Amino acid sequence: MSGLPVTADLTLRFAADRAGRVRPVGPDAPVTCSGQLMALPPGRYDWLHLRTDAPAPRRATVWLYYRNGVDPEHWDIPAGDGAFSRIPVPRRDDLLAIGLPDDPAVVGRAVCVVESREDAP
């Protein structure tokens, strides 16, 4: 890797084709996925980009907590240290939090939100 902080590195990785819509939102330290809720800055997003460590590929369900409801989404988690993945945010509503899967083998390193193109000025 480039020696940049993990979140900055993730932002650079996805920023080139996103016209300034990518914002790092945490976490401040690695997070073991144990079914917890991760708060996000409220907003309308197209994608969540994640950098994770996982010993083997897996598919998990995450819960997206919106202002007006909760939806499940599939998350395909690649194997490897610092692997990149993304989760779609299909609902046109403010996203408030993500419910992480209960899988202690998966460690979250960085999360970026991709602001919605539909809500851009």
Q: What domain range is 102 assigned to?
A: 6-115
Choice among 13-27, 87-101, 104-118 with the minimum mean pLDDT: 13-27
Residue 19 has pLDDT above 50, yes or no: yes
Percent above pLDDT 70 for the chain: 82
State if pTM tops 0.85.
no
Asked if the structure places residue 120 within a domain, the reply is no
Close Cβ partners of 54 (under 8 Å, ≥ 6 residues apart): 77, 78, 79, 80, 83, 105, 106, 107
Residue 120: pLDDT band with limits 50, 70, 90: low
Percent above pLDDT 90 for the chain: 72
- Could you read off the pLDDT of 56-75 as tens digits, one per residue? 999 999 999 999 999 999 99
What is the CATH classification number for the domain harbouring 97? 2.60.120
Query: How far is the first Cα of the chain from the last one, in angstroms, to the nearest whole number?
Result: 34
Separation of alpha carbons 116 and 71, rounded Å = 18
Residue 16 has pLDDT above 50, yes or no: no
Asked if the structure places residue 107 within a domain, the reply is yes
Mean pLDDT score of the chain, rounded to an integer?
A: 86
- What's the total number of domains in the chain? 1
Asked if the structure places residue 64 within a domain, the reply is yes
Asked if the structure places residue 90 within a domain, the reply is yes
- Could you read off the pLDDT of 81-103 as tens digits, one per residue? 999 999 999 999 999 999 999 99
Asked if the structure places residue 1 within a domain, the reply is no
Asked if the structure places residue 46 within a domain, the reply is yes
Q: What confidence score (pLDDT) does residue 28 get?
A: 85
Asked if the structure places residue 121 within a domain, the reply is no
17 or 82, higher pLDDT: 82
Separation of alpha carbons 20 and 29, rounded Å = 24
